Chains A and B, each alone.
Chain A
Amino acid sequence: MSDKATLIVHSGDLDKIYSALIVANGALAMGMEASLYFTFWGLLRLKKGGLDQGGLSKMNMLGLGRLMIRRRMKKANVASVERLILDFKELGGKIIACEMTMEIMGVKRQDLNESLIDDYGAVGTYIQEARDSAITLMV
């Protein structure tokens, strides 16, 4: 078993993106390796300027819930999604973009924040990352 955490980021909701990035950064901070596999709605967050565009997974209330959560996070001095993903990369985290999702949703590489993405792949790439990971999660 490798001392590694692999997460599938399937959801694009703001709270779920935060969860994924916080857990991934936590794993890196504790000395593990970490990989994030962005697929479906999660992949859309990798579009240029798209990182924090998701609504809340619950109680979004047409954006009102999202606004309230963002206010509370600002008050608690929570780091931005942009900062968390840059920290993730700086600490050696790996980001893989799902090519199948790109095809289905008509997303091209140029649409994405390519500097964040280490690799493009399909499910086999994910399985190779996950098969010996001590922690595997789907967010």
Chain B
Amino acid sequence: MAEIKVDVRGETCPIPLVEVRKAIKKAAAGDIIEVIGTHPASKKEIPMAAHALSIKILSDEQTGEEWKIRLEV
């Protein structure tokens, strides 16, 4: 069960979504993907994409300008 880190801090639309999608494609069932970013819209949209792809959202937090989302494939 691998933990995959995706760092998209400072990246803007559509890169955070794209990088998460790439990570999901490469992941195996049971892998955890941890995304860190700063783009405000992506904080809402990555959970939308996870939902559309039937990926479980483990956590979704914000510290200052940075958000961190953990997904289970």
A interface list, Cβ under 8 A from B? 22, 25-26, 28-31, 76-79, 84, 87, 90-91
CB under 8 Å from chain A, chain B span 2-58? 10-15, 17-18, 20-22, 25, 48-49, 52-53
Q: Given A90-B22, A91-B25, decide whether A29 and B12 contact each other with a Cβ distance below 8 A.
A: no
Report yes or no: A29 in contact with B11, Cβ–Cβ below 8 A. no
For residue A76, which residues in chain B have a CB less than 8 angstroms away from its CB? 12
Given known contacts A26-B17, A29-B17, A91-B25, is B10 in contact with A77 (CB within 8 Å)? yes
| B contact residues, range | 10 to 19
Q: How far is the CA of A50 from the CA of B14 in the complex (A)?
A: 22
Task: Establish whether residues B10 and A91, one from each chain, have CB atoms under 8 Å apart when the complex forms.
Answer: no
Secondary structure at the B interface, as helix, strand, loop or mixed, is helix
A76-B12, A77-B10, A78-B12 as given contacts; A25 in contact with B18, CB under 8 Å:
yes
Q: Contact check, A79 vs B15: say whether CB atoms are below 8 A apart.
A: yes
- Cβ–Cβ contact A91 & B14, under 8 A: no
Q: Mark B residues whose CB is within 8 Å of A.
A: 10-15, 17-18, 20-22, 25, 48-49, 52-53
Whether A31 contacts B17 by the Cβ 8 Å rule is: no
Chain A residues within an 8 Å CB radius of B14: 22, 25-26, 29, 79, 84
CB-contact partner of B22 in A31, A84, A91, under 8 A: A91
CB–CB B49/A29 < 8 A: yes
B12: which A residues are within 8 A, CB to CB? Answer: 76-79
Known: A77-B12, A91-B25. A30 touches B18 (CB 8 A): no
- Give bound CA distance, A62 to B41, whole Å: 33
Contact residues in B for A78 (Cβ distance below 8 Å): 12-13
Contact status B18-A77, CB under 8 Å: no
Docked CA distance A78–B10 (Å): 10
